[in-house]
Amino acid sequence: MRGGASVLHERSRLMHLQTVRQLCLVSVWLVAIQSASTNLFAADGFAISWTNNMLTVTAPNLPGGKVDTWYLEAFCRTGSTKRDWRQTVIPHKTELLSADSKGKHLRLRTKVEPSVEVSHEIRAGEDEVDFQLAAKNVGNAFVDVDWFQPCMRVNHFTGRNQSNYISRCFIFTERGLTTLDKTKRTEEAIYRGGQVYVPTGINLNDVNPRPISPEKPVNNLIGCFSADDKYLLATAWDQTQELFQGVIVCIHNDPRIGGLKPGETKKLHGKLYFLKNDADELLKRYRRDFPQTKSNN
Protein backbone atom coordinates (compact mmCIF):
# COMPACT_ATOMS: atom_id res chain seq x y z
CA MET A 1 0.00 0.00 0.00
CA ARG A 2 2.80 2.39 0.86
CA GLY A 3 4.32 1.72 -2.57
CA GLY A 4 0.99 2.41 -4.27
CA ALA A 5 0.55 5.65 -2.31
CA SER A 6 4.04 6.72 -3.33
CA VAL A 7 3.24 6.13 -7.03
CA LEU A 8 0.01 8.10 -6.74
CA HIS A 9 1.84 10.93 -5.02
CA GLU A 10 4.45 11.01 -7.78
CA ARG A 11 1.77 11.02 -10.46
CA SER A 12 -0.01 13.85 -8.69
CA ARG A 13 3.22 15.83 -8.45
CA LEU A 14 3.95 15.36 -12.17
CA MET A 15 0.42 16.37 -13.13
CA HIS A 16 0.77 19.51 -10.98
CA LEU A 17 4.06 20.40 -12.65
CA GLN A 18 2.51 19.88 -16.07
CA THR A 19 -0.40 22.12 -15.16
CA VAL A 20 1.97 24.84 -13.91
CA ARG A 21 3.96 24.64 -17.14
CA GLN A 22 0.78 24.95 -19.21
CA LEU A 23 -0.37 27.95 -17.19
CA CYS A 24 3.03 29.59 -17.69
CA LEU A 25 2.84 29.03 -21.43
CA VAL A 26 -0.68 30.47 -21.51
CA SER A 27 0.52 33.52 -19.56
CA VAL A 28 3.40 34.06 -21.96
CA TRP A 29 1.01 33.70 -24.90
CA LEU A 30 -1.44 36.22 -23.42
CA VAL A 31 1.34 38.73 -22.78
CA ALA A 32 2.51 38.32 -26.37
CA ILE A 33 -1.00 38.81 -27.69
CA GLN A 34 -1.48 41.92 -25.53
CA SER A 35 1.85 43.33 -26.66
CA ALA A 36 1.01 42.71 -30.29
CA SER A 37 -2.37 44.37 -29.88
CA THR A 38 -0.71 47.60 -28.73
CA ASN A 39 1.46 47.62 -31.84
CA LEU A 40 -0.95 48.33 -34.66
CA PHE A 41 1.44 47.54 -37.48
CA ALA A 42 3.79 44.87 -36.05
CA ALA A 43 7.12 45.06 -37.84
CA ASP A 44 5.80 46.90 -40.91
CA GLY A 45 4.74 50.24 -39.47
CA PHE A 46 4.26 53.34 -41.56
CA ALA A 47 5.78 53.86 -44.98
CA ILE A 48 6.23 57.34 -46.44
CA SER A 49 6.81 58.77 -49.90
CA TRP A 50 6.83 62.24 -51.43
CA THR A 51 6.16 63.32 -54.98
CA ASN A 52 4.64 66.40 -56.64
CA ASN A 53 4.38 68.15 -53.25
CA MET A 54 2.30 65.33 -51.79
CA LEU A 55 3.47 63.39 -48.74
CA THR A 56 1.78 59.98 -48.67
CA VAL A 57 1.62 57.81 -45.57
CA THR A 58 0.58 54.17 -45.89
CA ALA A 59 0.30 51.22 -43.50
CA PRO A 60 -1.36 47.78 -43.53
CA ASN A 61 -4.03 48.68 -40.97
CA LEU A 62 -4.53 52.34 -41.86
CA PRO A 63 -8.24 53.02 -42.49
CA GLY A 64 -8.66 54.15 -46.08
CA GLY A 65 -5.25 52.75 -46.96
CA LYS A 66 -3.37 56.05 -47.05
CA VAL A 67 -3.21 59.62 -45.81
CA ASP A 68 -2.10 62.34 -48.21
CA THR A 69 -0.71 65.69 -47.05
CA TRP A 70 -0.08 68.62 -49.37
CA TYR A 71 3.48 69.18 -48.18
CA LEU A 72 3.69 72.05 -48.44
CA GLU A 73 0.71 74.16 -49.48
CA ALA A 74 1.96 77.65 -48.60
CA PHE A 75 4.44 79.82 -46.71
CA CYS A 76 2.84 82.95 -45.30
CA ARG A 77 3.68 86.54 -44.32
CA THR A 78 2.31 88.40 -41.31
CA GLY A 79 -0.86 90.46 -41.68
CA SER A 80 -2.67 87.60 -43.42
CA THR A 81 -6.08 87.62 -41.72
CA LYS A 82 -7.77 90.53 -43.49
CA ARG A 83 -6.23 90.63 -46.94
CA ASP A 84 -6.23 88.81 -50.25
CA TRP A 85 -4.53 85.41 -49.92
CA ARG A 86 -2.35 86.12 -52.96
CA GLN A 87 -0.66 88.92 -51.03
CA THR A 88 0.12 86.54 -48.16
CA VAL A 89 1.72 83.53 -49.79
CA ILE A 90 5.46 83.54 -50.47
CA PRO A 91 6.78 81.66 -53.53
CA HIS A 92 8.48 78.42 -52.56
CA LYS A 93 9.71 75.19 -54.10
CA THR A 94 10.36 71.84 -52.41
CA GLU A 95 12.63 69.11 -53.76
CA LEU A 96 13.36 65.54 -52.71
CA LEU A 97 16.98 65.03 -51.68
CA SER A 98 16.83 61.35 -50.71
CA ALA A 99 14.44 58.51 -49.88
CA ASP A 100 15.37 55.11 -48.50
CA SER A 101 14.18 51.96 -50.23
CA LYS A 102 11.98 50.87 -47.31
CA GLY A 103 9.92 54.07 -47.17
CA LYS A 104 11.16 54.96 -43.69
CA HIS A 105 13.19 58.12 -44.25
CA LEU A 106 12.85 61.19 -46.47
CA ARG A 107 15.06 64.24 -46.82
CA LEU A 108 13.53 67.31 -48.46
CA ARG A 109 14.65 70.89 -49.02
CA THR A 110 12.38 73.87 -49.51
CA LYS A 111 13.58 77.20 -50.88
CA VAL A 112 11.39 80.12 -49.85
CA GLU A 113 11.92 83.46 -51.57
CA PRO A 114 14.01 85.42 -51.26
CA SER A 115 16.59 83.64 -49.10
CA VAL A 116 15.16 80.98 -46.77
CA GLU A 117 16.08 77.30 -46.94
CA VAL A 118 14.13 74.71 -44.97
CA SER A 119 15.61 71.23 -44.49
CA HIS A 120 13.23 68.37 -43.65
CA GLU A 121 14.11 65.05 -42.01
CA ILE A 122 10.99 62.89 -42.03
CA ARG A 123 11.03 59.41 -40.47
CA ALA A 124 8.31 56.78 -40.35
CA GLY A 125 7.89 54.67 -37.21
CA GLU A 126 5.52 51.93 -36.10
CA ASP A 127 2.58 54.22 -35.39
CA GLU A 128 3.90 57.73 -36.05
CA VAL A 129 5.79 59.95 -38.46
CA ASP A 130 8.42 62.29 -37.03
CA PHE A 131 9.31 65.66 -38.59
CA GLN A 132 12.55 67.51 -37.81
CA LEU A 133 12.84 70.82 -39.66
CA ALA A 134 15.42 73.59 -39.73
CA ALA A 135 14.58 76.94 -41.39
CA LYS A 136 17.58 79.16 -42.16
CA ASN A 137 17.82 82.64 -43.64
CA VAL A 138 20.92 82.51 -45.83
CA GLY A 139 20.51 86.13 -46.95
CA ASN A 140 21.50 89.47 -45.45
CA ALA A 141 18.01 90.89 -44.75
CA PHE A 142 15.10 89.96 -42.52
CA VAL A 143 12.52 87.65 -44.15
CA ASP A 144 8.91 87.88 -43.03
CA VAL A 145 8.18 84.15 -43.24
CA ASP A 146 5.76 83.80 -40.36
CA TRP A 147 4.12 80.37 -40.75
CA PHE A 148 3.45 77.60 -43.25
CA GLN A 149 0.80 75.07 -44.18
CA PRO A 150 0.86 71.26 -44.40
CA CYS A 151 -2.63 70.32 -45.62
CA MET A 152 -3.66 66.83 -44.44
CA ARG A 153 -6.50 65.17 -46.39
CA VAL A 154 -8.71 63.03 -44.14
CA ASN A 155 -11.53 61.91 -46.43
CA HIS A 156 -10.26 58.33 -46.72
CA PHE A 157 -9.59 57.99 -43.00
CA THR A 158 -12.88 59.44 -41.77
CA GLY A 159 -15.01 58.05 -44.58
CA ARG A 160 -16.74 61.42 -44.75
CA ASN A 161 -17.13 64.28 -47.22
CA GLN A 162 -17.05 68.06 -47.00
CA SER A 163 -20.59 68.29 -45.67
CA ASN A 164 -20.15 66.10 -42.59
CA TYR A 165 -16.50 65.39 -41.78
CA ILE A 166 -16.12 68.00 -39.03
CA SER A 167 -18.07 65.81 -36.61
CA ARG A 168 -15.20 63.30 -36.91
CA CYS A 169 -12.47 65.90 -36.28
CA PHE A 170 -11.34 67.29 -32.93
CA ILE A 171 -9.16 69.66 -30.98
CA PHE A 172 -8.65 69.95 -27.23
CA THR A 173 -10.40 72.84 -25.48
CA GLU A 174 -10.93 73.65 -21.81
CA ARG A 175 -13.75 71.07 -22.02
CA GLY A 176 -11.34 68.35 -23.12
CA LEU A 177 -11.48 66.59 -26.47
CA THR A 178 -14.04 68.53 -28.50
CA THR A 179 -15.26 67.61 -31.96
CA LEU A 180 -15.25 70.57 -34.33
CA ASP A 181 -19.02 70.55 -34.79
CA LYS A 182 -19.28 71.18 -31.03
CA THR A 183 -16.90 74.15 -30.97
CA LYS A 184 -18.03 77.76 -31.07
CA ARG A 185 -18.03 78.70 -34.75
CA THR A 186 -18.28 81.89 -36.79
CA GLU A 187 -18.98 82.62 -40.46
CA GLU A 188 -17.74 86.14 -41.23
CA ALA A 189 -14.30 86.47 -42.84
CA ILE A 190 -12.57 87.53 -46.04
CA TYR A 191 -13.19 83.99 -47.30
CA ARG A 192 -16.21 81.94 -46.18
CA GLY A 193 -15.98 78.30 -45.13
CA GLY A 194 -13.69 76.43 -42.78
CA GLN A 195 -12.79 77.42 -39.21
CA VAL A 196 -9.57 78.72 -37.65
CA TYR A 197 -8.59 77.90 -34.06
CA VAL A 198 -5.89 80.23 -32.77
CA PRO A 199 -3.68 79.30 -29.79
CA THR A 200 -3.15 81.80 -26.99
CA GLY A 201 -0.31 84.21 -27.78
CA ILE A 202 -0.74 84.24 -31.56
CA ASN A 203 -1.67 87.58 -33.17
CA LEU A 204 -5.16 87.34 -34.65
CA ASN A 205 -3.99 89.51 -37.56
CA ASP A 206 -1.57 86.79 -38.69
CA VAL A 207 -3.72 83.74 -39.40
CA ASN A 208 -5.82 82.22 -42.16
CA PRO A 209 -8.36 84.65 -43.69
CA ARG A 210 -11.17 82.23 -42.87
CA PRO A 211 -13.70 82.46 -40.00
CA ILE A 212 -11.97 82.49 -36.62
CA SER A 213 -13.54 80.53 -33.78
CA PRO A 214 -13.63 82.20 -30.35
CA GLU A 215 -12.75 78.76 -28.94
CA LYS A 216 -9.10 78.58 -27.87
CA PRO A 217 -7.23 75.29 -28.19
CA VAL A 218 -5.38 74.33 -25.01
CA ASN A 219 -2.64 72.38 -26.80
CA ASN A 220 -1.17 71.94 -30.28
CA LEU A 221 -3.13 68.83 -31.27
CA ILE A 222 -5.71 68.42 -34.01
CA GLY A 223 -7.01 65.08 -35.21
CA CYS A 224 -9.86 62.92 -36.45
CA PHE A 225 -11.53 59.55 -35.90
CA SER A 226 -11.64 56.69 -38.37
CA ALA A 227 -14.86 55.74 -40.12
CA ASP A 228 -15.23 52.66 -37.90
CA ASP A 229 -14.46 54.69 -34.76
CA LYS A 230 -11.63 52.31 -33.76
CA TYR A 231 -8.67 54.60 -34.45
CA LEU A 232 -7.59 58.21 -34.36
CA LEU A 233 -5.17 60.22 -36.46
CA ALA A 234 -3.63 63.37 -35.00
CA THR A 235 -0.87 65.84 -35.74
CA ALA A 236 1.13 68.14 -33.45
CA TRP A 237 3.98 70.64 -33.69
CA ASP A 238 6.07 72.22 -30.98
CA GLN A 239 5.23 75.65 -32.42
CA THR A 240 1.78 76.18 -33.90
CA GLN A 241 0.38 79.28 -35.58
CA GLU A 242 -3.12 77.90 -36.01
CA LEU A 243 -5.26 74.79 -36.09
CA PHE A 244 -7.50 74.89 -39.12
CA GLN A 245 -10.47 72.97 -40.49
CA GLY A 246 -10.17 73.54 -44.21
CA VAL A 247 -12.49 73.40 -47.17
CA ILE A 248 -11.36 70.22 -48.99
CA VAL A 249 -11.95 67.58 -46.27
CA CYS A 250 -8.65 68.53 -44.68
CA ILE A 251 -7.26 69.54 -41.30
CA HIS A 252 -4.21 71.69 -40.65
CA ASN A 253 -1.71 72.09 -37.88
CA ASP A 254 0.16 75.05 -39.33
CA PRO A 255 3.64 75.49 -37.78
CA ARG A 256 4.99 78.87 -36.74
CA ILE A 257 8.38 80.24 -37.80
CA GLY A 258 7.94 83.85 -36.68
CA GLY A 259 10.30 85.47 -39.20
CA LEU A 260 14.04 85.01 -39.70
CA LYS A 261 16.86 87.48 -39.21
CA PRO A 262 19.90 87.35 -41.51
CA GLY A 263 21.80 84.13 -40.81
CA GLU A 264 19.22 82.94 -38.27
CA THR A 265 18.12 79.29 -38.01
CA LYS A 266 14.99 78.06 -36.27
CA LYS A 267 14.18 74.41 -35.64
CA LEU A 268 10.74 72.84 -35.55
CA HIS A 269 9.51 69.43 -34.46
CA GLY A 270 6.31 67.72 -35.55
CA LYS A 271 4.51 64.39 -35.18
CA LEU A 272 1.77 62.48 -36.94
CA TYR A 273 0.15 59.87 -34.69
CA PHE A 274 -2.00 56.86 -35.57
CA LEU A 275 -3.40 55.24 -32.43
CA LYS A 276 -6.34 53.29 -31.16
CA ASN A 277 -9.25 55.53 -30.25
CA ASP A 278 -7.90 56.53 -26.85
CA ALA A 279 -7.63 60.25 -26.11
CA ASP A 280 -5.71 59.65 -22.87
CA GLU A 281 -3.04 57.69 -24.74
CA LEU A 282 -2.80 60.44 -27.35
CA LEU A 283 -2.29 63.07 -24.65
CA LYS A 284 0.31 60.86 -22.97
CA ARG A 285 2.28 60.58 -26.20
CA TYR A 286 1.94 64.30 -26.89
CA ARG A 287 3.23 65.29 -23.46
CA ARG A 288 6.14 62.88 -23.80
CA ASP A 289 7.13 64.17 -27.23
CA PHE A 290 6.58 67.87 -26.53
CA PRO A 291 7.44 68.37 -22.85
CA GLN A 292 8.30 72.06 -23.29
CA THR A 293 5.09 72.97 -25.12
CA LYS A 294 2.65 75.01 -23.09
CA SER A 295 -0.55 73.09 -22.54
CA ASN A 296 -3.53 73.24 -20.22
CA ASN A 297 -4.59 69.70 -21.02
pLDDT digits (tens, 9 = 90+) for 245-282: 999 999 999 999 999 999 999 999 999 999 999 999 99
CA atoms within 13 A on the CB side of 295: 22
Taking only Cα atoms into account, the Rg of the chain, rounded to an integer number of angstroms, comes to 25
Q: Three-state DSSP class for 256? A: strand
Q: How many CB atoms lie within 10 A of CB 68?
A: 18
The pLDDT score that the predictor gives to residue 282 is 98
Helix, strand, coil percent values for the chain (each to nearest 5): 20, 40, 40
User: Is the confidence at residue 19, as pLDDT, over 80?
Assistant: no
Residues sharing a CB contact under 8 Å with residue 284, sequence separation 6 or more, in sequence order? none
CATH level 3 topology of 44-289: Beta-galactosidase; Chain A, domain 5 (2.70.98)
> What integer pLDDT is reported at residue 67 of this predicted model?
98
Residue 20's pLDDT band (cuts 50, 70, 90): very low
- As a whole number of angstroms, the distance between CA 39 and CA 126 comes to 7
Say yes or no to pLDDT of 220 above 70: yes
Decide: pTM greater than 0.75.
yes
Whole-number percent of the chain with pLDDT over 70: 84
